[in-house]
Structure formats: structure tokens, C-alpha cells
Amino acid sequence: MTDQTDGANALQPGLPAGEFLGHPKALWQLFNIEMWERFAYYGMRAVLAVYVATTFFSHLGAGANAEASLVYGGYTALVYATGIAGGYVADRILGYQRSILLGAIIMAAGLFVLLIEDLNWFLIGLALIVAGNGLFKPNISTMVGKLYAPGDVRRDSGFTIFYMGINLGAMIAPFVTAAWIGATWGLKWGFFAAGIGMILSTFFLEFAKKSLGHIGLPEAGKDGWGRFFAVGAGAVVLAGVVYFLLSESTILGYLLVAIMLGLMMYFVVAGIRSRNKVQLHRYIAMLILFIANACFWALFEQAGSSLNFFAREFVTPMYGSMETWQAGGFGVFQSLNPLYILLFAPAFAILWPKLDKLGVNPSIPRKFALGLIQVALGFLVLVFAIGSMQNAAGLVPWIFLALCYLLHTTGELCLSPIGLSMVTKLADDKEVGLAMGGWFLSIAMAQYVAGLIAAIASGGTVGGHGAPVAATITQYSDVYMQLFWIGLVFGIAYLVLAPAINKLMHGVK
């Protein structure tokens, strides 16, 4: 390994000087910060739905999983929806570095509140995490894009490396919070471990300031601490709104649709007002790809809800006894997706530039299509296993769920890191933070829909119509077959539409 200080960024005004392994030093600092934040998020997510079902809704019997899935879907939707506000705050008010710092502090507080075994306090903890995440998540991704000069061919690879940091934290977390701490001392103590991870993320953010230099600092005249505390007070108010929405799932759904439509209108109007036809077309292409992104994540995000319940109830233990498995061991499946990413992301990072040199690199829309088709095939694997591979106890061999996660992961690598990079390329420089918030808002809508799907798959009924019933393995199979067809149809549609979308992108690759 060599520590280079005379790389490309040293020649670009405003960019941090110095490189390590061919990328800006600051990339590796952001890698570390994001790794621990994702440890916190995925550590609590690995146990969230099952903990909510067993702790707060067990009195509902067969309907416990369905209610927990709705809470899970509402929470994860709001985690991503608040990114739109966080991007605006960073762009216009606080700067990226301070927005991330404030978000980290609020998230850590929320994680420790989750230790209180009362549903109202638990929802308050989730609300604080949501408010803090809105300030953290979109802005650290935006800062990665700002480390590279326009047209720097390393940008896609940089985002893929950053994505590996996300998944290193996500891989370790379920082993710690669910399979070890949860199975040994109880699932709620997994939230404590997640809180420690968030504190570490905050510490490393302070350590990274020297490497970041001017990247992410507020504009002149906007660097006073008064703005920091004012935004903090606003985040607390937002947490109160989030608490209400977590209790009112239907209202949340309508609100997400309204915000998304408003955002789409904003970008179209912004493109028209710019009097720049190319920028207008790029915004339209970006919004079309947001739809593909939402479809992908609505399917993929069964991982923390219905696939988690499925693993606990209908999959043979990967290790240990069935008692240990159901106490928390099932959470080990939540580590498979990030493990696969760590194994295959380097290959994908090398693959795209090599294909580009050969002139056969798939365009961004085609990569999105490949992602959708692969996530669809993952569910087809489970449908096959349920129909043909059950043992005498009605359990499916764990290897098939592992294969499902593998296909979902290769699909994710075709879409997610490429999508993050795509937003920073297609958006106007002054609106990159807002556009990144829009990217995460499309994921928010997907998370909400994923919660509704999971409620149906894992048992019970949505909206109070009919008596809740315990989910059978056939019920999972029926829902997963429908998800296969949805993913396949959308994937084929984007393959067909790819040339038209590419024209709208005007050379962005």
C-alpha cells in the first residue's frame, strides 16, 4: 500500500488534497463514519420487527407479526423520507458536516430510548432516530460525491468503496445485536449495542474534519452555532410529528405520496426555470429512475420484516438448536446481504470500468433493469423451495434463503451504488442535496409499501378488514410469487425503455 499525496485532487481547487489507494483520503474517513452508523441502523433493524411483535403485540396472537410489520414499514419509510429535509438543511442552512454531526447525536439518543419497555417511549425512540437520520444519511452520501472533480472517472468506484463501508457495519451488526446479544440476554439489549455504534460514528466524524478540509463546511456567514441549535430544536419538533405518523399508518401513506408528487413537480419546474433543456431532460430521467428504485426496494426490503419472520418460523437453523434460533439466531440472515456485498462489490467496482473500456458497459437504466430482474428471481427461489424442498417438519433448508439473499445482493450492486452516483451527476450542483433527499424519498415510499406487503405475507390483514390469521408457509409462497412477477415485469420494461432514458440523460454515464 502507498500513501500518495500528488494525485488528481491535489490539482483541483476546493477539493481535499492527498490520496490513498487511488482515492481521496477523506473517502476512507467517510467510509469509517458510515460503517459505524450503519452498524447502529442494521443492528437495531435485525431485531426490530420480531422485538416489536413479541414485546408489544403478543396479546394479538396471530396478528402480532402483521402489526409489527406495519410499525417496521412506517419507521423505515420515515427514516428515508426525512432525507429530503436533511438535504435542504445541509444545502441552505447548516452545511454538510454540522448536519451529519447533529443527526448522529440525535440518533444515538433515540437508540438508548428504545431500551424502555413501553410502546409510547419506544415510538419516541424511533421518532428520534428518524429525525436524526434525516440529517445524517443523505448528506454523507452527498459529501462522497463532492470529493471528486466533475468528470472524474473514479467517482463510481468511490461510491462502491463507500458502499462497502456501509456493508461492513451492516454485516457485523446482526451477529452482535441478534445472534449473540439478543439470543443470550434478550433482543432489547441489541438496541444498546447499536447505540454504542452510533457514539463511535460521532467520534470518528470529529476525527475526520482535518481530512475533509472545506468539503461540507457551511457558507461564509452561516457558520454560527445558533443555527446548529435552531436546527436541533426543529429536529425535536419533527420527532413529535414522526411519533404521530408512526401511530397513524394510513395518514403516513398519503403524506408520502403527496411529498413525492410535490418533489417531482419541483424538479420539473426547476428544470423549466433554468431555461436549460439538457438539465430539464436530466431531471426527467432522474425521476423515471426514482420509480425503478422504489420498485426495487419495495421488494428488497422484505429482508427486515417478512423474510425475517419467515427465517424464524419456517427455515431450518443455520446453527444451534431451534430454541436458540428463534431467540435471536435467525438474525444471522441479516448479515448475508452485506457479507455478499463485501465479497462481490470489489469485483463489480472493477467490472464496470473494464466493460466501459470494451464498449459494452450497460447504461444506468439497464443496470437498474438487471437489479429488478435479479431481486425477482430471488423470490422465485423461495417459491421453488417452499413447493419442493420442505422437510417433515415443514421447514425449508436455510441454503435456499441464503441463495435468495445472494440474488437480491447482486441486484442491489447493479442498482444502489450506481444510483447514488447517478443522482450527483444528473442534479444541478446547487440542488444535489435535495436530489439525494429525493432518492431516499423514493426508497421511503418503497419501505412503506414493503411494510404493507410484509403484513400480508407474515399473517393478519391490513386496515382491520377481517380477523387476523396465522401466516402459513403457503401464504408466504403466494405473496413471493406475486413479487417475482412484479419485479420481472418492471425489469423488462426498463430494458425496453433504456434507449429513451439514455437520450434524456445527455451523455451522463
Residue 377: its pLDDT value, please? 98
Residue 160 in this model has a pLDDT that exceeds 90: no
Residue 122 in this model has a pLDDT that exceeds 50: yes
Residue 19 in this model has a pLDDT that exceeds 80: no
Measured CA to CA, the distance from residue 446 to residue 260 in angstroms comes to 12
Rounded to whole angstroms, the maximal C-alpha distance in the chain is: 70
Bigger pLDDT: 251 vs 212: 251
Residue by residue, DSSP assigns 123-159 as HHHHHHHHHHHHHHHHHHHHHHHHTS-TT-TTHHHHH
Q: Which range scores top for mean pLDDT: 211-215, 266-270, 402-406?
A: 402-406
What's the pLDDT tens digit per position in 171-223? Answer: 999 999 999 999 999 999 999 999 999 999 988 888 877 777 777 777 766 67
Measured CA to CA, the distance from residue 337 to residue 345 in angstroms comes to 11
Q: Which of 145-149, 216-220, 252-256, 395-399 has the lowest mean pLDDT?
A: 216-220
pLDDT band at 4 (very low <50, low <70, confident <90, very high): very low
Residue 470: its pLDDT value, please? 56
What is the percent of the chain with per-residue pLDDT over 70, rounded to a whole number? Answer: 92
Average pLDDT, integer, range 429-439: 79
Average pLDDT, integer, range 129-151: 83
Average pLDDT in the chain: 87
CA 123-201-442 angle, to 5 degrees, is 55
Average pLDDT, integer, range 295-301: 96
Residue 2: its pLDDT value, please? 36
Residue 59: its pLDDT value, please? 83
Residue 399 in this model has a pLDDT that exceeds 50: yes
Structural domain boundaries of the chain? Answer: 22-505
Measured CA to CA, the distance from residue 131 to residue 80 in angstroms comes to 10
pLDDT band at 85 (very low <50, low <70, confident <90, very high): confident
Residue 16: its pLDDT value, please? 61
Residue 313: its pLDDT value, please? 92
Residue 463 in this model has a pLDDT that exceeds 80: no
Residue 225: its pLDDT value, please? 80
Domain 22-505 has CATH 2.60.120.20: no
Residue 5: its pLDDT value, please? 38
CA 38-227-105 angle, to 5 degrees, is 25
What's the pLDDT tens digit per position in 474-494? Answer: 999 999 999 999 999 999 999
Q: Find out whether 93 and 226 touch, Cβ atoms under 8 Å.
A: no
Measured CA to CA, the distance from residue 136 to residue 199 in angstroms comes to 13
Spatial CB neighbours of 266, under 8 Å, sequence gap ≥ 6: none
pLDDT band at 460 (very low <50, low <70, confident <90, very high): low
Residue 11: its pLDDT value, please? 40
Other beta carbons within 10 angstroms of residue 61's beta carbon come to 12
Other beta carbons within 10 angstroms of residue 52's beta carbon come to 25
Residue 6 in this model has a pLDDT that exceeds 70: no
Residue 492: its pLDDT value, please? 97
Residue 295 in this model has a pLDDT that exceeds 90: yes
Measured CA to CA, the distance from residue 397 to residue 276 in angstroms comes to 56
Bigger pLDDT: 211 vs 49: 49
Bigger pLDDT: 272 vs 421: 272
Residue 421: its pLDDT value, please? 78
pLDDT band at 501 (very low <50, low <70, confident <90, very high): very high
Residue 352: its pLDDT value, please? 85
What is the percent of the chain with per-residue pLDDT over 90, rounded to a whole number? Answer: 55
Residue 42 in this model has a pLDDT that exceeds 50: yes
Residue 207: its pLDDT value, please? 80
Bigger pLDDT: 93 vs 332: 332
Residue 314: its pLDDT value, please? 95
pLDDT band at 126 (very low <50, low <70, confident <90, very high): very high
Average pLDDT, integer, range 407-426: 87
Average pLDDT, integer, range 4-33: 64
pLDDT band at 438 (very low <50, low <70, confident <90, very high): confident
Residue 62: its pLDDT value, please? 67
Residue 13 in this model has a pLDDT that exceeds 80: no
Q: Find out whether 386 and 267 touch, Cβ atoms under 8 Å.
A: no
pLDDT band at 18 (very low <50, low <70, confident <90, very high): low
